[in-house]
Each structure stands twice: as structure tokens, then as C-alpha cells.
Amino acid sequence: MTRLNGVIAAAATPLDAAGAIDFDHLVRHCEWLLGAGGCDGINLLGTTGEATSFSTEQRLEAMRALAHSGLPLDRFMVGTGAAAREDAVRLTAEAKSLGFAGALLLPPFYYKGVSEDGLFAYVRSVIEQAGASDLRLYLYHFPQNSGVPYTIETVARIFESYPDVLAGLKDSSGDLGYSAALARRLQGFDVFPSAEGAIAKAAEFGFAGCISATANITGPLASAAFRDPVDTGSLQKAVQLRAIISAFPLVAAVKSALAIISGEESWNRLVPPLTELTMEQRAELRSALSNAGVDVVAA
């Protein structure tokens, strides 16, 4: 299977009026991201996709909708992490069965102060119960949200135990030193920082690309910069747009930005406890995007 690389959008998840996943809209959005949206791949049902706000059944339904859509699953990784191990096993096994290019596994995120042995045992049990054969697993390092870090030593231990299973890691910590240390230490291990600015260091540090929430908006610019390191203009514009969007609560702002550029107000819906941007915030975001040269639909 082709390894994921380049600019991967942490796809937002559209909702219907009842607050359930709008599967048809989700498929259309993913199709757009892989086309005009300029992205090399998609991280389905991650943090930006509000995965932990959905039940296991809802997540399985979304995975199946994408799998049956005809879109190229070799360009998708899908979030399968859950606090309950059996839920993570079920989601990971389904991701493998359906043919996604990878499963992205959060650590168990309720208990804090988890030991290296405990975290290793959790990941090992997910791999063994989901079935190591043909499984491509990525770890999701986001200690600010999960409260449980994948330390470099733990990652190395898992990789050494399952070199044919563990494909890489998404690093949402914002610590490029951590990402660079992993990329240097583990040969054949794909590291994806979570912001477009890391593209400038991709060649130097050996990053496989980036997995970014704001790639829902910056995809064409970020991809151009990844393919051509000399294209500093595209990278600067992508970084500028990320800064504009991340000045607001990130998931709500990504969705609001999608509403602003598409004219589909349904993008503003979020699953509680997350809340949509206020009308004042939306107006401020619209103005900032327009001033930055983004085509916006008239309000």
C-alpha cells in the first residue's frame, strides 16, 4: 500500500439539522479536499472532525459511508482512538477491514499519569485484537488534549515490537523538536507535525508532511509549498491563513471558514460541548479572510 505523505487535511465533519453526521455532505467535502481543495490525503474523524463527540456506531457509519463512496481510501487515515479499549479495537479493525490506508490511534485519555508499560500494553492489545496482519497504525500525540503523551521511548518501543504495523505518528503538540527527534531516531517511520509552518522544515528534519486542521482551507497553498520548497510565497500565505483561523476556537473557526467560502451555513453546526462562533466572530473572520485574498461568498 502506498504510504501517506504530503499535506493531509484533518477533515471537518458536517452535521445535519438534528446534529447527526451528514454523510452525503461529508463525502462531498472529502471529494473536494482531494480535488480543488488541494490536499494529498485526509485524516477522517480526528480532533477537527469531532470524533470523540460521536458514538462508536456513528463513527463506524461515517467510515462505511466513505468506504462505499468510491473515493480512494489509500489517501485516508481515520481516527480510531477511544478511552475504552474495546471501542478502539472495534474501530481499528473496521478501518483495516474497509481498506483505509491507516488507523490513527489516540492514547487512552481518561486516566492520567499512565506508565510506559501501561500505554505499551494498551497499544499492543489494540494491535493484537484488531489483527496485526495488513494493519497500518499511526499514533496520535496530542498531550494538551489527551493528557497522555506518547513519549519518544514509548513510540520507539512500539515501533521496535511492531515495525510492520506502526507506520508513523501525528504530532499535535506543537513541539518540532519532538517531531524531529522521532524522525531522526526511527528510520522508515513517518512523522507528521500538525501545522503548515512545519513544511519549511520537512526536508531538513525528514517529515513526511503535515496533518492540519486548517488544510481544510489552505490545502492548495500548503501542497504547493510541500512540493516546491522554493515556493516561499505559498507557504507564507498558508501560514497567514492558519494564523487568522486559529485566532478563534479552532474547530469552530475551521467550520465557519468553510461556511464563509462555500456559502453553506450548515458548516457552522458543532456537537456540544463545542459551540459555534458568535455572529461577531464570524464577521471578524470573514473580514480577515477577505482581506487576505480568500474568495468568500457574500453574506
What CATH code is carried by the domain that includes residue 143? Answer: 3.20.20.70
Q: Is 45 left (phi over 0), alpha (psi -120 to 50) or beta?
A: left
**For residue 1, pLDDT beyond 70:** no
Among 30, 51, 25, CA closest to 40: 30
For residue 298, what pLDDT band results from cuts at 50, 70 and 90? low
For residue 296, what pLDDT band results from cuts at 50, 70 and 90? confident
Mean pLDDT value across residues 228-248? 96
Could you tell me the residue range of the domain that residue 204 belongs to? 6-228
User: Is residue 77 within 8 Å of residue 41, measured between CB atoms?
Assistant: yes
In a domain, 298, yes or no: no
CA dist 89 and 93 (Å) reads 6
Among 54, 51, 50, 8, CA closest to 33: 8
Please give the single-letter amino acid code of residue 176: L
For residue 299, what pLDDT band results from cuts at 50, 70 and 90? low
Mean pLDDT value across residues 230-251? 97
Return the C-alpha cell found at 84: 475504552
pTM: 0.96
In a domain, 264, yes or no: no
CA dist 36 and 10 (Å) reads 16
How many domains does the chain fold into? 1
Q: How far is CA 118 from the centre of its chain?
A: 25
CA dist 212 and 8 (Å) reads 6
In a domain, 156, yes or no: yes
In a domain, 263, yes or no: no
Return the C-alpha cell found at 237: 500565505
